[in-house]
Chains A and B, each alone.
Chain A
Amino acid sequence: MQLLNMSLQHISKEVRLTPAAVNSEVKLLQSFSGDDRDKTVLKSIQYTSDYEFNNGCRAPPWRQVHGDICYVVIKPHDTDLLSVSASTAGVYINGGFEKENFSDLKHDREGEIYKDLVTLLKEKSAVFAENIAKQDFTLREDETTGNQYDIMDSGDEGDGDNTHRTNEDAKKDSKEPQKADKQKSNLKKTGKDRTPRKQPQPSLKWKNLGLGEEADEKKEEKDQIREGSAGKKEKKKVTVQESKGRVHPVIKGRKSKTPAQDQEDTFSESSTESEEEEESPDRRQEANSDLPSEYWQIQKLVKYLKGGNQTATIIALCSMRDFNLTQETCQLAIRDVGGLEVLINLLDTEEIKCKIGSLKILKEISHNAQIRRAIADLGGLQTMVKILKSPDKDLKCLAAETIANVAKFRRARRTVRQHGGIKKLVGLLDCGPLGSVPMTPEVEKDIEVARCGALALWSCSKSTKNKQAIRKAGGIPLLARLLKSSHENMLIPVVGTLQECASEQSYRLAIRTEGMIEDLVTNLRSENQVLQMHCASAIFKCAEEKETRDLVRQYGGLDPLVSLLDKSDNKELLAAATGAIWKCAISPENVERFQELKAIEKLVSLLQHQPEEVLVNVVGALGECAQEPQNRMSIRKAGGIPPLVNLLTGTNQSLLVNVTKAVGACATETENMTIIDRLDGVRLLWSLLKNQNPEVQASAAWAICPCIENAKDAGEMVRSFVGGLELIVSLLKSEHKEVLASVCAAIANIAKDEENLAVITDHGVVPMLAKLTNTTDDKLRRHLAEAIARCCMWGNNRVAFGEANAVAPLVRYLKSPDESVHRATAQALFQLSRDPENCITMHNAGVVKLLLDMVGSTDEALQEAAAGCIGNIRRLALANEKAKYP
Chain B
Amino acid sequence: MAHIVAKKALAKLAETCYRSTHFTKQEVEGLLHVFRDLQTSKKGKDEMKMDRATFREVLHYTFAMTDDILMDRVFRGFDQDNDSYVSAQEWVQGLSVFLRGTMEEKMKYCFEVYDLNSDGYISREEMFSMLKNTLAKQPTEEDPDEGIKDLVEITLKKMDHDHDSRLSYSDYKTSVETEPLLLEVFGPCLPAAKQVHAFTATFSDTCTDYY
Contacts and interface: CB of A to CB of B under 8 A. Distances in A.
Interface stretch (B14-22, B41-49, B55-63, B181-189): B181-189
A391 B181 contact: no
Of B154, B187, B188, B211, chain A has the most CB atoms within 10 Å of the CB of: B154
Nearest to B179: A318
Interface stretch (B28-36, B79-87, B105-113, B133-141): B133-141
B140 to A, nearest CB: 11
Interface of B: 131, 133-136, 138, 147, 150-151, 154-155, 157-158, 179, 181-182, 184-188, 192-193, 210-211
14 contacts: A300-B150, A304-B135, A308-B134, A308-B136, A308-B151, A309-B134, A309-B136, A312-B131, A314-B181, A315-B151, A318-B179, A318-B181, A319-B158, A322-B158
Interface stretch (A100-108, A219-227, A350-358, A731-739): A350-358
A319 B154 contact: yes
A314 B154 CA distance: 12
B193 A392 contact: yes
Interface in A367-396: 391-392
B154 A356 contact: no
A357 B182 CA distance: 10
Contacts of A489: none
B23 to A, nearest CB: 19
A318 B135 contact: no
A308 B152 CA distance: 13
Interface in A298-335: 300-301, 303-304, 307-312, 314-319, 321-322
Given A304-B147, A317-B181, A356-B181, A311 B188 contact: yes
B155 A391 contact: no
A300 B157 CA distance: 15
Interface of A: 300-301, 303-304, 307-312, 314-319, 321-322, 352-353, 356-357, 391-392
B193 A312 contact: no
A322 B178 CA distance: 12
A679 B131 CA distance: 84
Contact of A318 (B138, B158, B188, B192): B158
A314 B182 contact: yes
Contacts of B188: 310-311
B179 A311 contact: no
Nearest to B183: A353
Given A318-B182, A352-B192, A312 B151 contact: yes
A386 to B, nearest CB: 14
A312 to B, nearest CB: 4
Contacts of B181: 314, 317-318, 353, 356-357
Contact of A311 (B131, B150, B157): B131
Contacts of B210: 391
A311 B192 contact: no
A315 B154 contact: yes
A315 B155 contact: yes
Contacts of A312: 131, 134-135, 151
B74 to A, nearest CB: 15
A848 B176 CA distance: 95
A289 B171 CA distance: 39
Contacts of A353: 181, 184
Contacts of A309: 133-136
Contacts of A314: 181-182, 184-185
Contacts of A352: 192-193
A789 B187 CA distance: 94
Nearest to B130: A311
Contacts of A316: 151, 154
A391 B193 CA distance: 10
A191 B210 CA distance: 61
The 5 closest A-B pairs by CB, nearest first: A312-B134, A307-B136, A311-B134, A311-B187, A319-B154
A154 to B, nearest CB: 41
A356 B147 CA distance: 24
A314 B184 CA distance: 9
A308 B155 CA distance: 14
Contacts of A357: 181
Contacts of B151: 304, 308, 312, 315-316
A319 B147 CA distance: 14
Of A307, A309, A356, chain B has the most CB atoms within 10 Å of the CB of: A309
Nearest to A312: B134
A310 to B, nearest CB: 7
Given A303-B147, A322-B158, 11 more contacts: A300-B150, A301-B154, A308-B135, A309-B135, A310-B188, A311-B134, A315-B158, A316-B154, A321-B179, A352-B192, A391-B210
Contacts of B179: 318, 321
Contacts of A356: 181
Contacts of B135: 304, 307-309, 312
B177 to A, nearest CB: 13
Nearest to B153: A319
A527 to B, nearest CB: 30
A132 to B, nearest CB: 52
Nearest to A307: B136
Contacts of A303: 147
A319 B211 CA distance: 32
Of A314, A319, A353, A356, chain B has the most CB atoms within 10 Å of the CB of: A314
A322 to B, nearest CB: 7
Of B135, B136, B155, chain A has the most CB atoms within 10 Å of the CB of: B135
Contact of B184 (A307, A311, A317): A311
A433 to B, nearest CB: 18
B159 to A, nearest CB: 9
Contacts of A304: 135, 147, 150-151
Contacts of B155: 315
A317 B155 CA distance: 11
A379 B193 CA distance: 27
B94 to A, nearest CB: 22
A307 B134 CA distance: 8
Nearest to A322: B158
A44 B185 CA distance: 76
A393 to B, nearest CB: 11
B151 to A, nearest CB: 6
A317 B184 CA distance: 13
A229 to B, nearest CB: 25
Nearest to B138: A307
A308 B151 CA distance: 10
Given A304-B135, A304-B147, A321-B179, A311 B193 contact: no
B176 to A, nearest CB: 11
B194 to A, nearest CB: 8
A836 B185 CA distance: 105
B188 to A, nearest CB: 7
A303 B155 CA distance: 16
A309 B211 CA distance: 27
A310 B147 CA distance: 15
Contacts of A391: 193, 210-211
Contacts of A321: 179
B128 to A, nearest CB: 13
Nearest to A303: B147
A391 B208 CA distance: 12
Contacts of B134: 308-309, 311-312
A280 to B, nearest CB: 32
B84 to A, nearest CB: 27
A321 B147 CA distance: 19
Contacts of A319: 154, 157-158
Contacts of B186: 311
Contacts of B131: 311-312, 315
B129 to A, nearest CB: 13
A315 B193 contact: no
B186 to A, nearest CB: 7
A316 B131 CA distance: 12
A307 B151 CA distance: 12
A304 to B, nearest CB: 7
A321 B134 CA distance: 20
A303 B157 CA distance: 18
